[in-house]
Structures are given as C-alpha cells and as structure tokens.
C-alpha cells in the first residue's frame, strides 16, 4: 500500500526515509502557515553514500530511455546530476543557473516559481550550453518534484535549445500536486498540513 502524500501535522520534527537499504532522517520545516515539508537539503548537499545510492538506482531506470544529457537547476541537485551523469557514462551535464554571471555572455532564460521560494526566479542557460544541448535527448532532473514547476521551466529551456525531453527524473515526488505519470522517481515524500489547510480533509482520509 502506497503511503499517503498528505499527512496531518501534529508537531513532528523528523521524517525517516529509506532508499535501497539506506535509512536517513530528515528535518521537518515549515514553508507556509499551514504546510510543512521534510527537507532533504543536508542529505542532497553532503551525504556521499546516499547520493551514490540514489544516482545508481535512478541510472537503472533512466539508462533504458536513451538520454544523451542531464539538465538540472542550480543549486541543490548539482551533486545528484554529477553522480547520475557519471553512472550513465556521460562526460558532461548542464546546470541552469538562477542568476546572471559576468562570464556567461549571451543566454536564454525562463521564469520559475517554486513552492519553497517566495519570489519568482529565473533559470538561465548560456548560448554555448544551448548549442551543446541541441539535438540531444535530455533527462530533466530534480532531487524533489512537488508542483513540477522546476521541471516545466527546464523543459522550456530544452525546447529553446532545440533538444527533446527524454525523461523527467527525481529521487522523490513530494505531496499531491504533480499528477504527471511520466516521472521517473524512487519514492514519495509526504507534506504535512494543519487543520486550517485546504488539504486537511485529504490528510485525514
């Protein structure tokens, strides 16, 4: 039986995840007055063993899809993109940045609004990166997919580059928002809600 994507929040401080025999404990953090999530930031940005395990399991699912490149957004998923690319035998991956740097030169951009960031953001690819992606089948990668906004922005950049989407991949799908059936993922992260949340009734089912 699949675990629920929405759970009542009653003061929980930790959420345990398991992946391929590994067990990790994530802190639960508040993102709005009525919603809490299990944050994987410290895990994705520092746990070498977990990243290796997750990338290996994702590679098993992504490899048969015949992708030529991995594209992710700055910054949390960069280590995962590196490790997945290495396990797929790719010699390069591409990171869409969120701010303009002096070394970038000409670039293409795409607007983005995620549930964990209040302000609207922008994803950027240099013209050189666009040329390199052109004609390739691309794996759009994020560590967690909640609404799918980041993947959507990456897909628009992929199209602008003249590339095609080979797959959409993440370690986890989070919450009830993303309804696409094409996501390659390894598990589910629930969101936690108060009784005042519009999602509360679904949490008590």
Under a CB-based contact definition with an 8 Å cutoff, are residues 39 and 18 in contact?
A: no
N-terminal to C-terminal alpha carbon distance within the chain:
14
The DSSP element (H or E) to which 127 belongs, if any, is helix 127-133
User: Domain-by-domain residue ranges, the chain?
Assistant: 6-203
CA separation for the pair 19, 42 (Å, rounded): 16
CA separation for the pair 42, 123 (Å, rounded): 23
Question: Per-residue pLDDT tens for 114-155?
Answer: 665 666 789 999 999 999 999 999 999 999 999 999 999 999
Fold (topology level) of 6-203: Rossmann fold (3.40.50)
Q: E strands of the chain, at which residues?
A: 6-8, 14-19, 22-32, 35-38, 69-73, 94-96, 107-112, 121-126, 137-145, 164-174, 183-184, 187-189, 191-193
pLDDT at 194: 95
| Backbone phi and psi for residue 197, each to the nearest 5 degrees, phi listed first | -75, 145
pLDDT class of 3 with cuts at 50, 70, 90: low
- Looking at per-residue confidence, does 193 or 120 come out higher? 193
- Looking at per-residue confidence, does 201 or 15 come out higher? 15
What tokens were used for 65? Answer: 């899809």
The pTM score is 0.92
């Amino acid at each position: 039986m699949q675990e629920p994507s929405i759970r009542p929040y009653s003061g929980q401080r930790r959420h345990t995840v398991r992946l391929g025999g590994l067990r990790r404990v994530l802190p639960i953090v508040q993102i709005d007055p009525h919603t809490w999530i299990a944050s994987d930031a410290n895990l994705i940005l520092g746990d070498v063993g977990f990243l290796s395990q997750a990338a290996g399991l994702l590679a098993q699912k992504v490899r048969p899809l015949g992708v030529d490149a991995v594209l992710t957004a700055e910054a949390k998923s960069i280590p995962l993109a590196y490790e997945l690319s290495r396990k797929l035998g790719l010699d390069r991956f591409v990171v869409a940045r969120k701010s303009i740097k002096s070394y970038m030169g000409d670039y293409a951009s795409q607007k983005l609004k995620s549930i964990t960031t209040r302000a609207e953001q922008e994803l950027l690819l240099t013209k050189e990166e666009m040329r390199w992606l052109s004609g390739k089948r691309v794996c759009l990668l994020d560590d967690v997919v909640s609404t799918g906004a980041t993947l959507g922005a990456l897909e628009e950049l992929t199209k602008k580059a003249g590339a095609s989407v080979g797959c959409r991949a993440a370690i986890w799908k989070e919450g009830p928002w993303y309804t696409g059936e094409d996501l390659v993922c390894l598990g589910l992260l629930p969101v936690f809600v108060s009784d005042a949340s519009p999602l509360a009734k679904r949490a008590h089912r």
